[in-house]
Amino acid sequence: MYDMAMELKTDGAKCLYEQIYEHIREEIKGGRLLSGERLPSTRALAEYLQVSRTTVDFAYGQLLSEGYIEAIPYKGYFVCRMEELPEGNSQALPDDDRMTEAKKEESIPYNGNICYDFSPNGLDMSLFPFGVWKRISKNILNDGNKELFALGEAQGDYDLRQTISRYLHSARGVKCTPSQIVVGAGNDYLLLLLEKLLGRHAGIAMENPTYKRAYRIFRSFAYNIEVIGVDEGGMKVEELRKKQVKAAYVMPSHQYPTGITMPIGRRMELLKWAAEGEERFLIEDDYDSEFRYKGKPIPSLQGADGNGRVIYIGTFSKAIAPAIRVSYMVLPPLLLKRYRESCSFYSSTVSRIDQRILNEFIRDGYFERYLNKTRKLYREKHDILLQELKPFRKKFQIFGENAGLHLVLSSRDEKLTEEYLIRKAAEHGVKVYGMSDALIEENDGKRQAEGMLVLGYGGLRAEEIKEGMAKLKQAWL
């Protein structure tokens, strides 16, 4: 067995499990621990290093989840046989992760300690009514008969679809019947279905910058992606008109990452474009429409569509909890027909129990109450952030601050690059995210997001926002 001697520091800079994890990882990366080689048991290593077994468990757990080592039942831990070791891309990326590229970077922190993370993916679940959720779950299990364990309808259970259609009608102005709704386990899955409906080799127009996860998924299809520029109103329709595409992917209520809310004029232009061709669609990703801080809620693009050209996609992963793997797609009649003809044999991906819990959670008003509370919570954070941003306004412009859980900072000084701003922030213990992570480059599109940052505040407490912004002041002003 490999000699596991390693020097553990107890100066508190790094905890023990991290040191063990890093040591073994480097041994594997450096080829000193060979693939297939057996690691000592956690018990043996803990004894040898004179640390608790839990510490070694943690370290092995980390190595396991990153794919460096494997556990073979009843045999032990072995270095992975993978031809190439993972580069951190096996980690879980949430559905509503609007900055997957940025996430990756987290594994390469600047050497200082990051204390404040303005991640655009941060969520605050402190107000989530866990008790209510548990109670509903238990009641359903208690009352539930064996039907619950049977397979439900492929599109999702009718009750849930009816509840969703009511919610979408009242909250988002979506005009649809339950029969148009397809419920699925996450947006990614629904996009997989959509590929079957739009057909292979479809051309898809995307804004630049855009939601990188959707881009990656569309790229994994046989889609031809056309990159369309954005101005202050969102996707430029005159550019779109020059392209041969079947669908345009937009986020009209709050574009990621620019934060633009698409004005009604641009919406009408888009709908007109869609109505003109024989088979043109708009994919409306309404992902954080629940949170709006200024003016009236803006109804969905779908609600303004009179020609059956909008595919509306939403998720409960952001508004309820990432673990709630329930998204929904509202199909226009033409695609609904195609779904029934060619896709309805795909079994439902959501268990009936989960569908019923969610149905009751929404139907009985808990969802709305929770949304109202979180909207208030996020608005407070949002207001604090804007307050703290006042001294920055001389050097930065602020965009997209009326909705969602992030806003955009743009440096007025062209010389202050994104990379510089991120590095300076990190030196002060603050993690901020560059807009360029959301840029896509098909053909020869250039990266033009110098000096632009995405600042998410959903996951930080009010105090943390204040402290983090004070640090950023030191870093940038």
> By C-beta, is 9 or 345 nearer to its own copies?
345
229 touches its own copies (CB under 8 A): no
Interaction residues for its own copies, span 78-117 (CB under 8 A): 78, 80-84, 86, 89-95, 100
Interaction residues for its own copies, span 4-23 (CB under 8 A): none
Count Cα neighbours of 371 within 13 Å in the Cβ-side half-sphere.
19
Amino acid at 225: I
CB of 171 to its own copies, least distance (A): 12
> By C-beta, is 340 or 379 nearer to its own copies?
340
297 touches its own copies (CB under 8 A): no
CB of 23 to its own copies, least distance (A): 21
36 touches its own copies (CB under 8 A): no
Among 18, 57, 105, 153, binds its own copies (CB under 8 A): 153
Per-position b or e across 115-137, b if 16+ CB within 10 A of its CB: ebbbbbbebbeeeebeebbeebb
d(CA 262, CA 248): 14
51 touches its own copies (CB under 8 A): no
Interaction residues for its own copies, span 184-213 (CB under 8 A): 185-189, 192, 196, 200, 213
443 touches its own copies (CB under 8 A): no
> By C-beta, is 177 or 448 nearer to its own copies?
177
CB of 463 to its own copies, least distance (A): 20
165 touches its own copies (CB under 8 A): yes
Among 2, 48, 124, 162, binds its own copies (CB under 8 A): 162
> By C-beta, is 186 or 429 nearer to its own copies?
186
Burial class (CB in 10 A: 0-12, 13-18, 19+), 222: exposed
Q: Roughly how many angstroms between the first and final C-alpha of the chain, as a whole number?
A: 55
Pick from 202, 204, 160: nearest CA to 182: 160
Interaction residues for its own copies, span 298-327 (CB under 8 A): 317, 321-325
Pick from 385, 397, 442: nearest CA to 210: 442
Interaction residues for its own copies, span 248-267 (CB under 8 A): none
d(CA 235, CA 207): 6
> By C-beta, is 310 or 469 nearer to its own copies?
310
Among 150, 295, 296, 463, binds its own copies (CB under 8 A): 150
278 touches its own copies (CB under 8 A): no
Residues 103 and 97: beta-carbon distance below 8 Å: yes
Amino acid at 329: M
Among 70, 269, 290, 437, binds its own copies (CB under 8 A): 70
CB of 126 to its own copies, least distance (A): 9
336 touches its own copies (CB under 8 A): yes
293 touches its own copies (CB under 8 A): no
Stretch that binds its own copies, among 147-155, 370-378, 385-393, 444-452 (CB under 8 A): 147-155
Pick from 310, 461, 314: nearest CA to 385: 461
Question: Taking the CB of residue 65, how many other CB atoms lie within 10 A of it?
Answer: 12
> By C-beta, is 217 or 398 nearer to its own copies?
217
Stretch that binds its own copies, among 112-120, 134-142, 237-245, 446-454 (CB under 8 A): 134-142
Interface with its own copies (CB under 8 A), residue total 88
